[in-house]
Amino acid sequence: MFVFLLLSSRYLELSTRRNSITTVSRMEKSMPEVASRLSDDGSVNHVDVLEIGVGDRVLVSPGEIIPADGVIVNGATTIDESILTGESSPVFKKSGDAVVAGSINIENGIRVRVNRTAQNTALSRIVHLTDSAQSAKPKVARIADKIAGKFVLGVLLLTLFACGYWWFRDSSILLPVVISTLVVACPCALSLATPTAFVATMNLLTKRGIIPIRGEFLEDITNVTHIVFDKTGTLTKGALSLNHICTAPNWNKAQVTQIATALNLTSKHPFADAFRDLPGSNGKMASQVSHTAGGGIAGTINGKQFTIGSLNFIKSTTRLSGECEALVEARKNQSVCYLANEGKIIARFEFSDQLRSDAHRVIKKLRQGGLSLLLLSGDNHSVVSNTAQSLGIDQYKSNLSPSEKQTVVKHLQHQGAKVAVVGDGLNDAPVLASADVSIAMGQGADLSKINADVVLLNNRLSDLLDITNCANRTSWVIRQNLMWAIGYNLLAIPAALAGIVPPWLAAIGMSTSSLIVSLNATRLLSHQPHHKLTNWSP
């Protein structure tokens, strides 16, 4: 019975860890070994996927796995990205859309231009980050290990005391008492209580396309009092559409659009995507381009210096004349950027964006959980105000630079707040780095550059509720495990010292204690959150 119970507890613990490892291994094994590379003459060569380089074109037939991150240059199809996002529904992709390694082409053959090699794909980065997060021990687990070490020393000292006591009292039961005391003590329950629960939860999140980068975020997020949201790409879809252009005299819409597109070709801001999607773009890039995070872009086109970005950025980099005042005022509830040349604003571009479909529900649930919510954005006041009011966010600030967002977060922290920041990872690196917990939307930027604790690959705000529910549930399971482990040892060890517990019962008790802790932790693997959040803390 002792062997059975002990091995059962070890089996449950290893099963939990193996499930987590399997998730990562499945990602690694999803990469193909051979790719069909297209030559300049149109012929197809089957080569090792490691030989594929940036700029190569590969043919991906229906049913094949995409061998590297890239962009579709010919064809349209549906792609299964569940290996990355956990989302089972296929995604339609057409020419110009990005595809990621490890996803499966379902319907039609496509040609893909590679922009990352197999070693640097988003999938390989996810595997590395997930493995690192799961191998790291959370703070409470390290504390439990220290307690377990001191616990063992304490049990040995108590056993020596029992030897002396029973030697003089009744030496006939000395050996049974010593054996029972050493066997009944269960430090492994203390050491298993935390890491098994954490590994189970991170495995569950990874399967749902929520990638933990820092394992300790599950502990930290249960203490959060404030959540700071970015607007564009976070609360909104980030798919901006250009709906109005106002130009200065002697400039027409076609001219300013081509200039803006040339400046934005290397940018990853949603504004840049809106320009690139416009018909008639000639694909030429400006020279001597410089980017200012949260501000704008400066560059040279045909020997002339142009600047595009926010009004504050334009004013800080250009000495404006009074002739451009008519172009400054934009219509309400429109995101705006300006184009300047030779000290004059020559164009105003107005964009519209849509709230994410789950934004209202998520904000409502978080408010019901007792959290303070803030909206910090670099967008103009009317847009930010309208977004905040429509979502029911009382605190908001507009026209902020990345450093100003960081200052707001640090001010909250100095007042004792624990702050989580949710951003798109583009201009939010400083504020994400300053947060107690940082959460990035997967669409924001290259995963290798995201300075976040967790990445939402599905770009669903509702995943934020999954995270908080899983973190709260994990915290509660850990408390249950620790209370059981401590309570068991406080009762069992004195009983063994008193000679009440025979050795056979001590063996059963010790192995059963480990079994209970492991069973309790494995419940997390089957947890199905329903996006209900009544209280942030359990």
Marked catalytic residue, from 56, 230, 424, 436: 230
Beta carbons of 359 and 525 less than 8 angstroms apart: no
* Number of neighbouring beta carbons within 10 Å of residue 33: 9
Question: What confidence tens digit (pLDDT) does each residue in 28-69 have?
Answer: 555 667 788 888 777 788 887 778 888 888 888 887 888 888
Task: Provide the number of structural domains found in the chain.
Answer: 4
Both 297 and 164 in one domain: the answer is no
Residue 537 lies in a domain: no
Predicted confidence at residue 448, as pLDDT, reads 35
Question: What confidence tens digit (pLDDT) does each residue in 234-273 have?
Answer: 888 877 888 888 888 888 888 888 888 888 877 777 777 7
Encoded tokens for 233: 């790409």
230 has catalytic annotation: yes
Residue 248: CATH number of its domain: 3.40.1110.10
Range of the domain at 55: 33-64+69-115
Both 102 and 157 in one domain: the answer is no
Q: What is the pTM of this model?
A: 0.70
Residue 341 lies in a domain: yes
Predicted confidence at residue 449, as pLDDT, reads 47
Residue 536 lies in a domain: no
Residue 271 lies in a domain: yes
The fraction of the chain above a pLDDT of 90, given in percent, is 7
Both 333 and 273 in one domain: the answer is yes
- In b/e form, how buried is each residue of 124-134, taking b as 16+ CB within 10 angstroms? bbbbebbbebb
For the chain, first and last CA: distance in Å? 36
Question: What confidence tens digit (pLDDT) does each residue in 313-360 have?
Answer: 888 777 766 555 667 776 667 788 889 888 788 888 888 888 888 899
Predicted confidence at residue 375, as pLDDT, reads 94
Residue 220 lies in a domain: yes
In degrees rounded to 5, what are phi and psi of residue 300?
Answer: -115, 135
Predicted confidence at residue 361, as pLDDT, reads 92
Q: Give the end of a domain, one of 445, 467, 489.
A: 467
Both 80 and 146 in one domain: the answer is no
Distance (Å, whole) CA 426 – CA 408? 18
Residue 278 lies in a domain: yes
Residue 28 lies in a domain: no
Residue 212 lies in a domain: yes
Asked whether residue 156 carries a pLDDT value surpassing 90, the answer given is no
Encoded tokens for 536: 């942030």
Question: What confidence tens digit (pLDDT) does each residue in 307-321 have?
Answer: 998 888 888 777 766
Beta carbons of 326 and 314 less than 8 angstroms apart: no
Residue 367: CATH number of its domain: 3.40.50.1000
Both 312 and 461 in one domain: the answer is no
Both 348 and 245 in one domain: the answer is yes
Both 342 and 362 in one domain: the answer is no
Left, alpha or beta for 500 (phi > 0: left; psi -120 to 50: alpha)? alpha
Both 41 and 111 in one domain: the answer is yes
Asked whether residue 373 carries a pLDDT value surpassing 90, the answer given is yes
Both 463 and 514 in one domain: the answer is no
Both 261 and 138 in one domain: the answer is no
Question: What confidence tens digit (pLDDT) does each residue in 516-537 have?
Answer: 887 887 777 665 654 444 444 4
Q: Give the end of a domain, one of 302, 333, 352.
A: 352
Listed range (213-217, 221-225, 250-254, 414-418) with the worst mean pLDDT = 213-217
Predicted confidence at residue 213, as pLDDT, reads 77
Q: Give the end of a domain, one of 352, 385, 407.
A: 352
Binned at pLDDT 50, 70 and 90, residue 15 comes out as: low
Both 462 and 474 in one domain: the answer is no
Long-range contacts of 397-404 (CB under 8 A, 24+ apart): 399/310, 399/312, 400/294, 400/376, 401/294, 401/295, 401/312, 402/293, 402/294, 402/378, 402/427, 402/428, 402/429, 402/430, 402/431, 403/294, 403/430
Binned at pLDDT 50, 70 and 90, residue 88 comes out as: low
Both 368 and 463 in one domain: the answer is yes
